[in-house]
Amino acid sequence: MNQVYRVLKIKIPWRLVEERPDVLDLVTRMHLAVEEYAKTLLKEITGQGEPKLTTEEIDRLLTPDRRELAVKIIDVAFPKYGLGRYFVKQAKMFWRETAFWRAVPLDAQLRIENERDAGRAVFVGLKSGVLRVRKTGIPPFAVELKKGNVAWIRERLQEGARLKLAFLGIERLKGKKEPTYGKLYIALVFARKVQQVEPKAVVAVDVNRLDHGVMMGLLVDGKLRQTLRLLDEDAVRELRRLHEEISRLDEQAAREADPARRRRLEERARHLKSRRFRKIRGVVKDIVGEIIKLAREHQAAIVVDTMEDETYRELKEGNWSGEKKHLLDGLGQLRRRLQTLARWYGLPYLEERLYSTVCPRCGAKMEELNNRRMQCPVCGFNDNRDNVPLIWAKKRYWELLQKQPAFSATTTLLTS
């Protein structure tokens, strides 16, 4: 049995932040203390100033023998920012999680019916629809849960999950030169035990640009039983429209001499970029939902032919049109979401090269014709480019079915 996690991120309304500046002050102090602790700890371990490490590398570095060093750093860093005994105790108890996620885990309770209040820092009342934060050194504050939040929590409970802990944090946004920070949030972390499925089938997935759609094929007993192209044409049209409008606003802002008008144009562009991000996230959630649903129905391993990181960077930095480039956005989050949801449901997840340009019949390099058709110059094989990876999956079916990926030791948190 493996422990797996999912997260519900609940934004703290700006009206509350405006009325309660002490909330923003607390979150800022927590952020600064945790950043100093994590950077100092990793610097002491690696001997480097600000090492750029992957999550897997950080996970390997934070071994139990580092705990004593971590405790010493917490004792120095946290009081410097006015964080009291509760935060120091929580950070020491969850020293690895604090360094890994750059946030202090808070103890949390979920009241489903009329359970006794256990006095934990984060209290979630499912019936009342209110989340309360207390014991943090400032007066308590409350956030109202949306109906969607309550429904999400009930779904996780039905799956056997329990509220494990919570984070209080601030969104980190990628800036052109350095990161900026956005809205405050409370993250509720749910955990459950899951046994990995013994696969009886394979769901092969070919990840493409959003306007080409994601191809999915169900293979049972070495035969391709079902194929489906996951493509939301309305969403693609909306993404194209948003991209054109954002490009127009960016160009206008670059030419605008008046500072006030330029700021208005830049603000409008930022608003549309946020809208585009939400649209892409919605498309990704729908696609992943269909893949997971099919895999669960057939107890299947999920085998993904993903675009390699280097290829993705080359395409994003290439000379072809920005309209096409922006349709690559979301492939990274699709891959992460699919992997983590597969883990949540105990479905084996593999990333394998399922070629679209190599002939599955003779292995020769194929040529691309019109309308995304591929043809082999050696044996004459001819098919749509998006079908070729599924044929490769069929060819390698028994090999793929026998591969059993081990669950990663890294704690992966999936937001909603």
Which of the given ranges, 231-245, 287-301, 322-336, has the highest pLDDT on average?
287-301
The H-or-E segment that residue 77 falls in is helix 67-80
- 210: tokens are 């959003």
Length of the chain: 416
Nearest to residue 205, comparing CAs of 221, 190, 217, 219? 217
Residue 304 · residue 350 · CB < 8 Å? yes
- 362: tokens are 């003779």
Lowest mean pLDDT among 39-43, 48-52, 168-172, 358-362: 48-52
Whole-number Å distance between alpha carbons of 177 and 319: 23
Whole-number Å distance between alpha carbons of 411 and 101: 10
pLDDT of residue 333: 84
pTM beyond 0.85: the answer is no
Residue 134 · residue 123 · CB < 8 Å? yes
Task: Write b or e for each residue in 183-197: b if 16 or more Cβ atoms lie within 10 A of its Cβ, otherwise e.
Answer: ebbbbbbbbbebebb
Whole-number Å distance between alpha carbons of 402 and 379: 30
pLDDT (tens digit, 9 = 90+) per residue, 322-374? 656 667 777 888 888 999 899 999 999 999 989 999 999 999 999 999 888 99
**pLDDT tops 80 at residue 416:** no
Whole-number Å distance between alpha carbons of 14 and 308: 39
Query: Residue type for 300, please?
Result: A
Sheet containing strand 108-111, edge to edge, reads: 108-111, 122-125, 130-133, 141-144
Q: How far apart are the first and last CA of the chain?
A: 23
Whole-number Å distance between alpha carbons of 111 and 348: 33
pLDDT of residue 329: 73
Q: In angstroms, what CA-CA distances link 325 with 50, 329, 332? A: 32, 8, 14
User: For the chain, what is the total number of helices (H) and then of strands (E)?
Assistant: 14, 16
Whole-number Å distance between alpha carbons of 304 and 338: 9
pLDDT (tens digit, 9 = 90+) per residue, 125-168? 999 999 999 999 999 999 999 999 999 999 999 999 999 999 99
**pLDDT tops 90 at residue 403:** no
